[in-house]
Amino acid sequence: MAKDWAAVATAITTRMAELDMKQAELKAESGLSLQTVREIQQNLQPRDRSKRTLAALSEALKWPRDHLWLVLEGHDPGDPDADDPVLKQLAELREQVNSITARLEAIERRQADGDARS
């Protein structure tokens, strides 16, 4: 199977946005040169890179070491955040806020209907 450097670039860019991370931060966290980070993130010069390079980027992006290597090889690494209890709690809070918002909107509609009848 051909190596999918475009998928690696997309994964890195998406994750950086999720973490609100800049290239300079990724460089510092990974220990790689800015040129290497830029080339991989922007898919400028797709070429073989060592597993250690992709592992350093993966860890800097708070993923398991093999995450980007799996992406490169065309495998689905899964969502490493799937079992994160904080994200689970955040999702529950979002559901509660949506429920409260829907109830409030229903109250406002009933109140507006009552005012229109008066």
Does the pLDDT at position 20 exceed 70? Answer: yes
Q: What is the pLDDT of residues 70-118, one digit of tens each?
A: 999 998 887 776 677 887 888 899 999 999 999 999 999 999 888 777 6
Short-list 83, 88, 82, 50, CA closest to 69: 50
DSSP code of 78? -
Burial class (CB in 10 A: 0-12, 13-18, 19+), 6: exposed
Considering the entire predicted model, what is its pTM? 0.67
More confident residue, 83 or 19: 19
**pLDDT tens sequence across 26-81:** 999 999 999 999 999 999 987 888 899 999 999 999 999 999 999 999 988 877 76
CATH architecture of 5-72: Orthogonal Bundle (1.10)
| Domain residue extents for the chain | 5-72, 83-118
Distance of CA 8 to the CA centre of its chain: 13
Could you tell me if 26 and 14 are in contact, meaning their C-beta atoms sit under 8 angstroms apart?
no
Angle at 60 between CA 44 and CA 70, to 5 degrees: 65
